[in-house]
Amino acid sequence: MRVIVLGGGLLGVASAYYLQQLGHEVTVIDRHGTPAAKVRGLVDTPTPAAPLPTYRPGTSWRAAFERVRNRVHGWTGYLTGTAHRPTERMEHLARLGAYSRESVRALGREAGVTQPSRGAGWMRIYTDAEAFGQFARNVPRLHALGCVMHLLSADEALRIEPALEPLRGQLAGAAFTREGTSSDAAGFVGSAIFMCRAAGVHFLMNHTVTQLHAREGRVDHVELRNADGERTTLRADAYVMALGSGSAPVAQGLGVPLRLRRVHEHVVLLPLKNPAQAPQVMLQDLHSRLRLQRVTTPDGDRLRVWTTVRAGSAAAALRDDVRLARMLARVETLLPGLVDARGAVLTTTPYARSANGLPLIGRTRMRNLFLNVAPGAPGWIHACGAGKSIARIVSGMSPEVEFAFAKG
Q: How do residues 379-396 score in pLDDT, each as one tens digit? A: 567 889 999 999 999 999
Give a yes or no: residue 15 inside a domain. Answer: yes
pLDDT tens, position by position, 104-126: 888 777 766 555 444 468 899 99
In a domain, 319, yes or no: no
Question: Does position 374 have pLDDT exceeding 80, yes or no?
Answer: no
The answer to whether 93 and 85 are in contact (CB under 8 A) is no
pLDDT at 356 over 50: yes
Question: What's the mean pLDDT in 357-369?
Answer: 93
Q: What is the pLDDT of residue 303?
A: 95
403 located within any domain: yes
Q: What is the CATH number of the domain that holds 79?
A: 3.50.50.60
For the chain, the domain total comes to 1
Query: At CA 264, angle to CA 263 and CA 270, rounded to 5?
Result: 150
Q: Following CA atoms 236, 202, 248, 258 in sequence, which dihedral angle do they give, to the nearest 10 degrees?
A: 70
Nearest of 20, 131, 49 to residue 351 by alpha carbon = 49
| Residue 237 amino acid letter | D
- Please give the pLDDT value at position 111: 66
Q: Which pLDDT score is estimated for 180? A: 52
Q: Is 237 exposed, middle or buried (0-12, 13-18, 19+ CB in 10 A)?
A: middle
pTM of the model: 0.78
Backbone angles phi, psi at 398, to 5 degrees: -80, 140
Q: Is residue 141 part of a domain?
A: no
Does 369 score more than 80 pLDDT?
yes
For residue 64, pLDDT beyond 80: no
Residue range of the domain that includes 25: 1-115+183-259+355-408
On the question of pLDDT at 365 being above 80, the answer is: yes
Reported confidence tier of residue 90, pLDDT bands at 50, 70, 90: confident
- Alpha carbon distance 184, 41 (integer Å): 9
Phi, psi for residue 258 in degrees, rounded to 5: -115, 120
- Return the pLDDT at 52: 53
In a domain, 236, yes or no: yes
pLDDT at 138: 84
**Which segment of 55-64, 234-243, 262-271 scores lowest on mean pLDDT?**
55-64
Q: Say yes or no to pLDDT of 376 above 60.
A: no
Secondary element (H or E) of residue 132: helix 129-144
Q: Write the DSSP string, 38-105.
A: TTTT--SSPPPPPPPTT-----HHHHHHHHHHHHHHHHHHHHHTSS--HHHHHHHHHHHHHHHHHHHH
Beta sheet of 122-126, edge-to-edge order: 150-152, 173-177, 122-126, 282-285, 290-297, 300-310, 260-271, 347-354
Residue 77 scores a pLDDT above 60: no
Q: CA neighbours within 13 Å on the CB side: how many for 259?
A: 9
Residue 344 falls inside a structural domain = no
Element (H, E) at 175: strand 173-177
Averaged pLDDT, 42-70: 49
Report pLDDT digits (tens) over 152-195. 999 999 999 999 999 999 999 999 987 655 444 666 777 788 88
Report if residue 146 sits inside a domain. no
Q: Determine what percent of the chain is predicted with pLDDT higher than 70.
A: 82
- Mean pLDDT calculated for residue range 399-407: 94
